[in-house]
Structure 1
Amino acid sequence: MGKKQIMLPANEVDLTAVKYVPEKIEAPHLTGFWFKLFVKVMEAPVIGSLIASHLKEKNGITEILKNTVIPEVPMFIPQFPLQEPEPGVVCLEEDGKPEERVALALKCLPHYDPTCRWSSDSGEPFQFRYWKIRDYGYAYRSKLTTPSMASDFSFIVAEHFISAMEVFNSKQQSAPLLISFDPEEVRRQAAASTQRFEEGNPLSILDGIFIAVKDDIDCYPHPSKGGSKWFHEVRQVKADGVSVSRLRNSGAILVGKTNMHEFGMGTTGNNPNYGTPGNPHNPKRYTGGSSSGSAAIVASGLCSAALGTDGGGSVRIPASLCGVVGLKTTFGRTDLTGSLWEAGTVTIIGPITATVEDAILVYAAISGSSPADRIRLNPPIPCLPDLSSSESSNILGSLTLGKYTKWFNDVSSTDISDKCEDVLNQLFRLYGCKTTEIVIPELRELHTAHAVTFGSESLCLLNPDCEAGKGVRLTNDTRTNLALFRSFAASDYISAQCLRRRIMYYHMEIFKKVDVIVTPTTGMTAPEIPESALAVGETNLQVVASLMQFAMTANVLGLPAISVPIGHDKQGLPIGLQLIGRPWCEASILRLAAAIEEISAEYRKKPVEFYDILKGKV
């Protein structure tokens, strides 16, 4: 039996005595035959429970959940103290039409100079840049091209997209980005968009913009399978999810459903059901997950944006590994209605985009809390940074960034921490942003709280169908996770929620001193895809922990966070910097992210797998 531990109340913890302890995960790395055998054993009635207990004991989970007295009361959903208003922002009407919110967001962006974006003889050395949503908008409105076939226009972006998907699928037959795709549906939407342009009535700057949707968010008429082979059999899609509906009302062309790690229960993007997408910067590497296809389709240039869900870094991790932008909103800021995670408390819907300004535009379209969240969370009005204001630089200079150095430097390669540190130095030199040292206690406890909370919510989603016999059709990875999640007791869930309140206290105290917490997005760059993992998956909790170690805070506490690409390691793999903000303060992290993107622009590299949809180079 373990010795009982009694925690001091959070407000009595001496932060000067806190020691950072790197997390070491003790669990087997298995693929192929041995992984399939391990799954069978984990699901066996007696021995499976013993193995789960052993794994929890070896990794300190039992000590935290069973042998520790936690004085705080449970917090079953993120609860935030009132926040000071952010400076230099434009507020959005939560009940306003999404196209009107997008129009306001457009006015917040810096001046757009088409000559800088379209001129090929500017005299500047070549620098890779993604086409932005405003580039597409300019091309459509200037009649350089259209979303679909019309009059005498020479470029047909919809056909470019469809052709590019055909080329991609012929090269990557076993690793699709879209697992539900209907070219005729894309053509139909593109034709409607083109007609609006011809009549002079585009709905918004998002009209005619190609956006993909993760497979756990409803996008009619596509099924929502959660990356599985069967979930659409038990849950039919009869309408768009709220976030998808808002994009459609803004004129976006919704191209289909993206591949994902089955039911979001992994951070690599491995999916034996449909094939595992390769990273556009190196197809032999993982994209990250679980929003794997969403990040890869944006990084490949095929779409300007994609929707993902983030329950444990699932937007930010693949965005970082694929070299694009991933925004996790405050919990409750976007409406989960019409997704698999409506009943969750750690998951949000957020955009993955090529640039920060595109994230602002898509965020403006999809933002708006559900009626239930307005009652239980009382969210303030969503705001955007006014990047067009001359005061934006001064506001940047007033920001204080919090950095927990020992945690920040706990990465697999100094390439990651050095790149991140360099960006912080440049923020200080160019804008005067101060970085101050902080201490974040009980990070191991935070990780345990996340595992129990996310695991219990996932089990709640899937258990009825698993009990009805569908469980055997899940991937080995998902079955392993569910076997572990089933070992958590009701008392473990309560303990996790007590930890959640305790850790929230620490972070709200930190945010009295700093505006943003800065970390690398991931503890490693894109890991290799083992050949033996393609057919049956793999379990590698060391990799999972490294990819998730900086991400979980924002999910457990419901905080907004964003990953911004800042360069590459010596192997040419992208590195992301993460910004974690105060509750409801998306505007602050978006403002800072835009500055970081500008600082890092020269370091962005063209992916190996890239398609220029706007100019038809497929």
Structure 2
Amino acid sequence: MDKKFQSRVVKAVRHSMILFLALTWQIMGKTRSVMLPAPEVDLTTVKYDPLEIEAPHITGLSLKFFVKLVELPLIGSLLVGHLKKQNKMNQMLRDTLIPEPPMFRPEFPPQEPETGVVFLKEDGKSEDRVESAVKCLPQYDPASNCNSDSTPFRYWKIRDYAYSYRSSLTTPSMVAEHVISAIEEFSNKKPSTPLLISFNADDVRKQAAASTQRFEEGKPLSILDGIFVAIKDDIDLYPHPSKGGTTWLHEFRSVEKDAVSVSRLRSCGAILVGKANMHELGMGTTGVNPNYGTARNPHDLERYTGGSSSGPAAIVASGICSAALGTDGGGSIRIPSSLCGIVGLKTTYGRTDIKGALCDGGTVEIIGPIASSVEDIILIYAAILGSSHPDKISLHPSAPCLPDLSSHENHKVTGSMRLGKYTDWFNDVFSPDISNKCEDILNMFSETYGSKIVEIVIPELDEMRTAHVVSIGSEAAAALSPDIQIGMDKKLTLDSRINFALFNSFTAADYVAAQRIRRRIMYYHMEIFKKVDVIVTPTTGMTAPLIPKSALAYGESNMKVTGNLMRFIVAANLLGLPAISIPVGYDKQGLPIGLQIIGRPWAEATILRLATAFEGLRIETKRPASYFDILKGK
């Protein structure tokens, strides 16, 4: 049989089956939408729909009362059902025929190798990968190791610390005292603005003393030796407890050793300062945490850092730590990095081993680095990368590599990149300052490197958002099910309890429908990546929101803010794609704006190359209002 004829027959049969099922539902008195198979969707007819999340903004005592209603058996179901109806969730999940089979975790087609890269030995030592990463960077100029009032502000980089240690200008022990002093100053502020949930000054001094001795003996472990790094509270750091921002989770989950990513940093000589504050269980985008106090944005202490990696972003943006590890299941690295004016990398799903983190076993979340520069992101990423054995078998990851930024060909490779931009989506922001600033930097980049900006269309963005909520929510509810069964959910913060009321309303059918949508969205993105190398968006749809005073004690539920913060975030999590947020300027209030670069699967080298190029465009940088010069002790 002719292949073209065979293909037409298959399509005809498929359409007949879809029409038959739709007709059956109509005969039964039910209305059901029917989706065309993703390959048959006509993209020229796709119209961008700027749908807003419909939900009340509640904080203070009103939030407490609302939670009581939500948790009542009958009234609660009605309230949650109304919320889902307003946001068309049931319409997408239960009243729509989705022809694609489900995709229960990301499935990546084989990828073309990246060009102009240096490959890393995934199964080798972390120290060796970091050494290879250093060789990929442009040559270090000691003369740039200055940060005075007469020069534009910039953060100290890891190589600045390394140069100072090797030149005996300071020692890790001396810097440790500055770090400890700064952390204690933050903790003693009124109101409390704790960066760390678990901190032991004596342990930091002990690690610093060991590092100092290695430098005295001329035997540093790597360029990360003596570099101060914070670990988010949902990643195991022995002997600190992992509370996940709760008051009780550590009682049921003991920490016996470091998470895999943490152990890799420790083997490189990094000084691990403690467990950084976070939005409870990662279930929020602002970083509010009534349990331990809310981390504040170093650019404006009256505003949120973004979440859920609030502490990691704040401690880096304030200059106290060179880097931090966060987790990202729904923008939790990229959102706070954008709001705090620093860099955050979300790796491809499976690129880093998540064993030893609360997200272990999920399908949308990864462990990734937060730092003040792309260069430092590269060094931390090189240390922690490495897929788990099961992920190597099931995901078939491409060999990890880094962009060779020291190569004379780097400019040429950068200029050959095609950047995809969905303009209607790109411009859907709370403040035009965001899209204008991102547009300006894209134009500057194109003029400098000659790269092409290609207009693209991404269908079914609202369906993608729903599929992500169902996926991450169902996984979170399943992970905590034993604890919820014994009533521990009543010890969660109020906004977490609202979230879990929603998550527990999802059925098995909802979850399967969400995974069918996941496959559709993956198809669209893989088709887009045949035309472009990356997709560029603003990182968030708004800059750092103000912290309501009532939220400090009770928390808050503000789904509209969540929608604005997550508008451009979801694809990288639902599909497992790599993405990076880089600072590109400020709005009229002086608040940081981030640009997001989303890459094809396993293409960390590509997005790191482009992020470095954007970073080099002489973008304005401002000293945060709350900043500590840890290297100089000022």
Partner of 1:41: 69
CA distance in 2, matches of 1:304, 1:461: 32
Partner of 1:79: 107
| 1:548 has 2:566 as partner | yes
CA distance in 2, matches of 1:67, 1:499: 13
State the TM-score, normalizing by the size of structure 2: 0.95
Partner of 1:514: 532
Partner of 1:58: 86
**Runs of 5+ consecutive residues of structure 1 not aligned to the other structure:** 149-155
Shift of 1:277: 1.0
Partner of 2:304: 286
Of residues 91, 95, 103, the one that matches 2:123 is 95
Q: Report if aligned partners of 1:2, 1:63 keep a CA contact under 8 Å in 2.
A: no
Shift of 1:117: 2.1
CA distance in 1, matches of 2:555, 2:593: 25
Residues 11 and 325 (structure 1), Cα distance of their counterparts in 2 relative to 1, 3 Å cut: same
Secondary structure at the counterpart of residue 617 of structure 2 = helix
Of residues 159, 170, 174, the one that matches 1:134 is 159
Q: Report if aligned partners of 1:291, 1:315 keep a CA contact under 8 Å in 2.
A: yes
Matches within 5 A, 1:128-167: 128-148=153-173, 156-167=174-185
CA distance in 2, matches of 1:117, 1:512: 42
Partner of 1:259: 277
| 1:421 has 2:439 as partner | yes
| 1:16 has 2:5 as partner | no
**1:561-607 residue CA offsets vs partner (Å, 9 max, x unmatched):** 00000010000000000000000000000000001111143x11100
CA distance in 1, matches of 2:232, 2:350: 19
| 1:597 has 2:615 as partner | yes
Of residues 600, 622, 626, the one that matches 1:609 is 626
CA distance in 2, matches of 1:41, 1:387: 56
Shift of 1:46: 1.2
CA distance in 2, matches of 1:390, 1:552: 36
Of residues 240, 255, 261, the one that matches 1:243 is 261
Matches within 5 A, 1:172-571: 172=190, 174-571=192-589
CA distance in 2, matches of 1:79, 1:461: 23
Shift of 1:166: 1.8
CA distance in 1, matches of 2:221, 2:51: 49
Code of the residue aligned with 1:84 in structure 2: it is E
**Runs of 5+ consecutive residues of structure 2 not aligned to the other structure:** 1-28
Partner of 1:151: none
Shift of 1:436: 0.7
Code of the residue aligned with 1:605 in structure 2: it is K
Which moved further from structure 2: 516-525 or 376-385? 376-385
Q: Report if aligned partners of 2:537, 2:597 keep a CA contact under 8 Å in 1.
A: yes
Code of the residue aligned with 1:38 in structure 2: it is F
CA distance in 1, matches of 2:401, 2:519: 26
Secondary structure at the counterpart of residue 309 of structure 1 = strand
Shift of 1:119: 7.7
Shift of 1:126: 2.0
Secondary structure at the counterpart of residue 195 of structure 1 = helix
Q: Report if aligned partners of 1:565, 1:600 keep a CA contact under 8 Å in 2.
A: no
Q: Report if aligned partners of 2:344, 2:369 keep a CA contact under 8 Å in 1.
A: yes
Secondary structure at the counterpart of residue 118 of structure 1 = coil
**1:362-389 residue CA offsets vs partner (Å, 9 max, x unmatched):** 0000000001111110111111000000
CA distance in 1, matches of 2:322, 2:478: 34
**1:63-114 residue CA offsets vs partner (Å, 9 max, x unmatched):** 0001000000000010011110000001111101001000000000011101
Q: Report if aligned partners of 1:321, 1:575 keep a CA contact under 8 Å in 2.
A: yes
CA distance in 2, matches of 1:548, 1:37: 27
CA distance in 2, matches of 1:597, 1:272: 36
Instruction: Report percent identity of matched pairs.
Output: 67
Q: Report if aligned partners of 1:567, 1:600 keep a CA contact under 8 Å in 2.
A: no
CA distance in 2, matches of 1:245, 1:175: 28
Q: Report if aligned partners of 2:234, 2:244 keep a CA contact under 8 Å in 1.
A: yes
Secondary structure at the counterpart of residue 597 of structure 2 = strand
Shift of 1:132: 0.1
Residues 364 and 513 (structure 1), Cα distance of their counterparts in 2 relative to 1, 3 Å cut: same
Secondary structure at the counterpart of residue 446 of structure 2 = helix
Partner of 1:153: none
Shift of 1:118: 2.8
Shift of 1:170: 2.1
Shift of 1:461: 1.4
Q: Report if aligned partners of 2:186, 2:193 keep a CA contact under 8 Å in 1.
A: no
Shift of 1:171: 2.2
**1:401-421 residue CA offsets vs partner (Å, 9 max, x unmatched):** 000000000001111001100
Code of the residue aligned with 2:630 in structure 1: it is I
Partner of 1:152: none
Q: Report if aligned partners of 1:15, 1:441 keep a CA contact under 8 Å in 2.
A: yes
Shift of 1:173: 5.3
Partner of 2:135: 107
CA distance in 2, matches of 1:223, 1:534: 24
CA distance in 2, matches of 1:118, 1:576: 26
Which moved further from structure 2: 9-18 or 171-180? 171-180
| Structure having the higher Rg | 2
CA distance in 2, matches of 1:447, 1:2: 25
Residues 594 and 227 (structure 1), Cα distance of their counterparts in 2 relative to 1, 3 Å cut: same
Code of the residue aligned with 2:632 in structure 1: it is K
Shift of 1:466: 1.4
**1:510-535 residue CA offsets vs partner (Å, 9 max, x unmatched):** 00000000000000000000011110
**1:544-566 residue CA offsets vs partner (Å, 9 max, x unmatched):** 01000100110000000000000
Secondary structure at the counterpart of residue 145 of structure 2 = helix
Code of the residue aligned with 1:27 in structure 2: it is A
Secondary structure at the counterpart of residue 532 of structure 1 = helix
Residues 2 and 299 (structure 1), Cα distance of their counterparts in 2 relative to 1, 3 Å cut: farther
CA distance in 1, matches of 2:496, 2:74: 20
CA distance in 1, matches of 2:190, 2:122: 41
Code of the residue aligned with 2:80 in structure 1: it is A
CA distance in 2, matches of 1:240, 1:200: 27
Shift of 1:167: 1.9
CA distance in 2, matches of 1:3, 1:544: 31
Shift of 1:458: 0.6
Which moved further from structure 2: 300-309 or 125-134? 125-134
Shift of 1:44: 1.0
CA distance in 2, matches of 1:466, 1:220: 26
Q: Report if aligned partners of 1:566, 1:600 keep a CA contact under 8 Å in 2.
A: no
